């Protein structure tokens, strides 16, 4: 026994000998500076308790007086480490400031003569340089002096961290197991005695079959359980039971049960035979899992796939899909019918590439790669090898499918056979080009005939010039609508109204293009409207050049367009010419031509107004007559 514990506690320890670190620190501390006073003035109870604590191997501490001045042994120092280091003689509320309120309450309670006990109290400790939480059982007891008055608190602290963590780990494991069982749909556990056909089980198993827990615990014959099984599935269960004695592995059986609540449930029974020492199967023990949701999902998926296949096989187009990377993974039945490729070879990316026309191959692959990268709609026409050996034109379109974050997931597309319509368009285009050529020849022939006729009738020169000008206007309109051979039929394409007017008036404008202005919202016109419109504006320009604003150097024309919901308005305004003469009393041929073109051919309205400084023409056209391509 250390000498320090056999002598008076306040006496110095023999030179060169210290029983423990904390004993040395306690004796070296200047207690006279604290509320406890010098050690020699301590009550015998405090000195005895201090001697006991410092010599004990159990983690023990003492809180002296109402300040809770700390005295503790080496074991406490080792357990609490940096938390208690250098804290001998200091108030516990200062050392453990974050728990000051707790320790004040403990000290007050114990100084009133009452003991306290706490289980698994968390305490923050710094161990090996890392802050961590540890758990302790804390026992607080009052220390009484020779008069029985509490003068301090004895603290026993036993670390329970491993036990707390073990309990928490077990609880988490139980929770995970419970979640796993719940997610698996486990209904219950059963035990079937093969010789008698008697089945026992837990309460959940009994609840499914509508049997009481006491009854299932005693055992119930399988014939009674069979009444809850769907009639169409009973033979499946019987066959599984009969096969159990000979089974070498797990026996599984899936069937429908009419549960006690009246609902039909799909269940999966899984069990293993239990054999005795002679290898004879006496029991089969297993579990019952609810697979209703999986079966309903599988049925819904099968029905959805059936309806999808039926729909895609009914459509005349080829239906296909591809991954976000462009790998084709589905083709409808039309693909096999078109290509002649067996269905077993359908999902093959190289198939469709090898069937492209050699002249279209590079173009198609480039467009497809661009769409895969950009996510744009895929829309292209190309030639594809038919099972007959000929290349047929297809129009192939695909839309990207994206997830909620906008990332590309899949492509769904169609391929439509447009071979016949493509050939028909080409034939119509060939005919249109031939007609275009013949019409231009007719314009040339008629112009030549006018020139020949004029040689014998020089008095008809003015008339011939007007007629030749109108023919040129018609030719301009024709060239505007069909500027040259192109792939689309001109009759099915709309054009700019204002561009036609600019083309017809360009010969009458000055070099800077400042005599004639065109403003306002534009409109679209088709080939059918271009011809009468060309005659109208040619006539207006010709008249202006002869008698109106264009006949004088300072004159000008403003063409103002306006739009309504269903109509287009054009105002032709000539300024810079002095019209002092009377308004014409009768309409000439030009006026009758204007009226015929606007009102009879285009269903519009035409009016001319004579102002002092020029002429103003107001024309209105129905929007639907100008452009029939929409």
CB atoms within 10 A of CB 328: 20
The average pLDDT across 602-606 equals 88
Q: What is the pLDDT of residues 554-573, one digit of tens each?
A: 888 999 999 988 899 999 99
Q: Kindly report the three-state secondary structure assignment for every residue of 594-617.
A: HHHHHHHHCCCEEEEEEECCEEEE
- Our CA angle for 617, 622, 627, nearest 5°, is 115
- 440 in helix, strand or coil? helix
Residue 444 has pLDDT above 80, yes or no: no
Token couple for 425: 């368009």
The average pLDDT across 505-516 equals 77
The distance between the two most distant Cα atoms of the chain, rounded to a whole number of Å, is 160
Dump the DSSP string for 27-45: HHS-GGGSTT--GGGS-HH
**Is 494-630 the same fold as 315-417?**
no
| CATH superfamily, region 315-417 | PAS domain (3.30.450.20)
The residue with tokens 């007891």 is 141
Q: What is the pLDDT of residues 17-68, one digit of tens each?
A: 445 788 888 899 999 999 999 999 899 989 999 999 988 888 999 999 999 9
pLDDT at 487: 39
| Burial class (CB within 10 angstroms; exposed 0-12, middle 13-18, buried 19+) of 263 | exposed
CATH tag, 494-630: 3.30.565.10
Q: What is the pLDDT of residues 611-622, one digit of tens each?
A: 777 888 999 999
Instruction: List Cβ neighbours of 73 (8 Å cut-off, separation of 6 or more).
Output: 20, 22, 53, 54, 55, 56, 59, 60, 61
256 touches 265 (CB < 8 A):
yes
| CATH superfamily, region 3-165 | PAS domain (3.30.450.20)
| Burial class (CB within 10 angstroms; exposed 0-12, middle 13-18, buried 19+) of 349 | middle
CATH tag, 185-296: 3.30.450.20
Distance of CA 558 to the CA centre of its chain: 55
Instruction: For the chain, give every domain's residue range.
Output: 3-165, 185-296, 315-417, 418-492, 494-630
Q: Which helix (H) or strand (E) holds 205?
A: helix 203-209
19 touches 4 (CB < 8 A):
yes
């Amino acid at each position: 026994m250390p000498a320090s514990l056999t002598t008076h506690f306040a006496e110095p320890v023999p030179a060169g000998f210290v029983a423990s670190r904390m004993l040395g620190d306690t004796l070296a501390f200047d207690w006279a500076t604290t509320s406890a006073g010098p050690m020699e003035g301590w009550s015998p109870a405090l000195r005895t308790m201090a001697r006991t604590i410092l010599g004990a191997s159990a983690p023990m501490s003492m809180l002296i007086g109402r300040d809770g001045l700390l005295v503790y042994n080496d074991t406490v120092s080792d357990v609490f480490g940096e938390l208690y280091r250098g804290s001998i003689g200091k108030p516990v509320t200062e050392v453990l400031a974050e728990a000051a309120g707790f320790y004040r309450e403990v000290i007050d309670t114990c100084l009133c003569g009452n003991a306290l006990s706490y289980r698994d109290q968390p305490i923050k400790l710094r161990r090996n340089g890392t802050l961590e939480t540890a758990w302790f059982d804390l026992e607080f007891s009052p220390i009484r002096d020779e008069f029985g008055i509490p003068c301090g608190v004895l603290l026993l602290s036993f670390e329970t961290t491993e036990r707390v963590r073990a309990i928490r780990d077990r609880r988490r494991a139980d929770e995970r197991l419970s979640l796993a069982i719940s997610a698996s749909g486990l209904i219950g556990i059963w035990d079937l005695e093969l010789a008698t056909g008697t089945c026992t089980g837990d309460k959940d198993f009994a609840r499914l079959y509508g049997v009481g827990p006491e009854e299932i615990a005693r055992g119930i014959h399988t014939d009674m359980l069979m009444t809850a099984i769907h009639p169409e599935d009973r033979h499946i269960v019987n066959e599984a039971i009969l096969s159990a004695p000979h089974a070498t592995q797990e026996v599984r059986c899936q069937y429908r049960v009419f549960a006690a609540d009246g609902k039909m449930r799909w269940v999966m029974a899984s069990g293993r035979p239990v054999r005795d020492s002679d290898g004879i199967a006496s029991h089969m023990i297993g579990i019952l899992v609810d697979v209703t949701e999986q079966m309903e999902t599988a049925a819904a998926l099968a029905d959805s796939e059936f309806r999808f296949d039926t729909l895609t096989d009914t459509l005349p187009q080829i239906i296909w899909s591809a991954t976000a990377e462009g790998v084709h993974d589905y083709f409808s039945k039309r693909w096999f019918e078109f290509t002649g490729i067996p269905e077993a070879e359908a999902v093959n990316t190289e198939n469709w590439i090898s069937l492209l026309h050699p002249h279209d191959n590079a173009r198609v692959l480039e467009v497809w790669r661009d769409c895969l990268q950009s996510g744009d709609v895929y829309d292209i026409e190309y030639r594809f090898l038919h099972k007959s050996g000929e290349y047929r034109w297809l129009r192939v379109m695909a839309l990207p499918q994206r997830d909620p974050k906008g990332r590309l997931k899949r492509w769904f597309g169609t391929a439509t056979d447009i071979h016949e319509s493509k050939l028909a368009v080409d034939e119509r285009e060939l005919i249109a080009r031939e007609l275009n050529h013949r019409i231009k020849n007719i314009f040339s022939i008629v112009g030549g005939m006018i020139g020949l006729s004029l040689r014998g009738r020089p008095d008809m020169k003015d008339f011939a010039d007007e007629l030749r000008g109108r023919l040129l206007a018609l030719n301009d309109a024709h060239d505007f609508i069909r500027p040259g051979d192109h792939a689309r039929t001109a009759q099915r394409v709309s054009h700019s109204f204002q561009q036609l007017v600019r083309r017809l008036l360009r010969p009458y404008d000055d070099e800077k293009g400042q005599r004639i202005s065109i403003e306002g919202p534009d409109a679209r016109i088709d080939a059918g409207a271009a011809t009468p419109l060309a005659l109208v504006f040619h006539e207006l320009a010709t008249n202006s050049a002869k008698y109106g604003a264009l006949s004088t150097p300072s004159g000008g024309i403003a063409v103002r367009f306006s739009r309504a919901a269903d109509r287009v308005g054009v105002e032709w305004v000539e300024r810079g010419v002095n019209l002092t003469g009377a308004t014409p009393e009768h309409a000439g041929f030009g006026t009758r031509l204007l009226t015929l073109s606007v009102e009879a051919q285009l269903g519009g309205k035409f009016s001319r107004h004579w102002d002092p400084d020029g002429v103003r023409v107001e024309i209105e056209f129905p929007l639907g007559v100008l452009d029939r391509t929409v």
